Amino acid sequence: MYRDIYNAVRERWDKVAKPIDGLGKLEDIICKIGAIKGKTDFSLDRKAAVIFCSDNGIIEEGVAQTGSDVTAMVCANIYKGTATSSVMAKCVGADCIAVDVGVKADTKAHIEHKISRGTKNFLHERAMTSEQAKQALELGIETVGRLKDSYDILAIGEMGIGNTTTAAACAAAALGKSPCRVTGRGSGLSDEMYSNKIRVIDLALEKHRPKREIYDILSCVGGYDIGAMAGAYLGAAKYGIPVIADGAVGLSALVLAQLVRKDITDYVIGSHRGKEPLCGAALDKLGLESVIEGSLALGEGTGAIMLFPLLDMAMAVYNNSTFEELNMEGYKR
């Protein structure tokens, strides 16, 4: 069914009055979206960015420039509509939904479901229990299920100080790569802090030695936001709603989701190849293409949100006149 619909959308593209494959990757994405939805005639008018917010105990080790109070502030700003992600979403006609899965402080969110007030410091103990890891994954699946009838497409993002550290640790464990190959500077660390960040991840992975299994990796070195995003991707496959992955943290979650479901990338759209080194490593491993090459490193799902207007333009062309309707001879593949 998936491949049949994909090919049917491709056939429609080839009839549209434009050169064959003229919109490149955007045509491929529209084919994928049709296959996910199971139909050739569909809309992407109802859009939302879903931002999972959580704190990470590992910031006690000096791996971030700011403290956990910033996570609560940004989560509240998403709720108020003043965060960067909220402003960008409003600009492209999308809603922006904050989901509190583990913010340390009390804050405002559209969906509140604290698993706990942040994770533990994984340099010294497991970040979370296996049960909490399962809760995070299930919450992501449930969130997509809750939104599936209200929206046509979702951008998946996160907010959590220290989460480029958890993302790099999860990616290193899942991809079997050295932390130095997937760890970046996050929000602009100095050379000294960057070296410390790699050292902390190295020591933690050596201490816990997580199995290449989603719950073990999450419980050892993960974050609730990463677990919930992995669940959101699995929810996309379960409920037939396309979702867009963002940058480093979102892609680390997608690598984990693939440990559960090997075909998960059939249901997830790549948005950008960000500045963090794990972006390239994850995209290459997943075989997922990015559309935007902007050296982005903001988070909050902003790279995924940026894809919305490009998809709107692609859909406008997809629904435009065909060669036959214009009484013109079309291109041949």
In terms of DSSP bridges, do strands 153-159 and 111-112 run parallel, antiparallel, or are they unpaired? unpaired
The arrangement of strands across the sheet holding 47-54 comes to 111-112, 94-102, 47-54, 153-159, 243-245, 268-270
**Looking at this protein, which amino acid is placed at residue 320?**
N
Q: What is the dihedral of CA 215, 199, 294, 103, to 10 degrees?
A: 50
Tokens 């951008």 belong to 155
Tokens representing residue 86 in the block: 């909220």
Element holding 96 (H helix, E strand):
strand 94-102
Q: How far apart are CA 88 and CA 62, in angstroms?
A: 30
Query: What is the sign of the dihedral through the CA atoms of 112, 115, 117 and 122?
Result: negative
> 218 near 136, Cβ under 8 Å?
yes
Q: What is the dihedral of CA 146, 151, 155, 158, to 10 degrees?
A: -30
> Tell me, what DSSP letter sits at residue 160?
-
Active site residue 142: no
> 68 near 100, Cβ under 8 Å?
no
Q: Assign 83 to helix, strand or coil.
A: coil
Q: Assign 250 to helix, strand or coil.
A: helix
Q: Which of 300, 324, 325, 329 is catalytic?
A: 300
Q: How far apart are CA 159 and CA 301, in angstroms?
A: 9
> Rounded to whole angstroms, what are the CA distances from 1 to 7, 38, 39, 40, 242?
10, 7, 10, 12, 16
> Tell me, what DSSP letter sits at residue 324?
T
CA 17 to chain CA mean position, Å: 33
Active site residues per annotation:
300
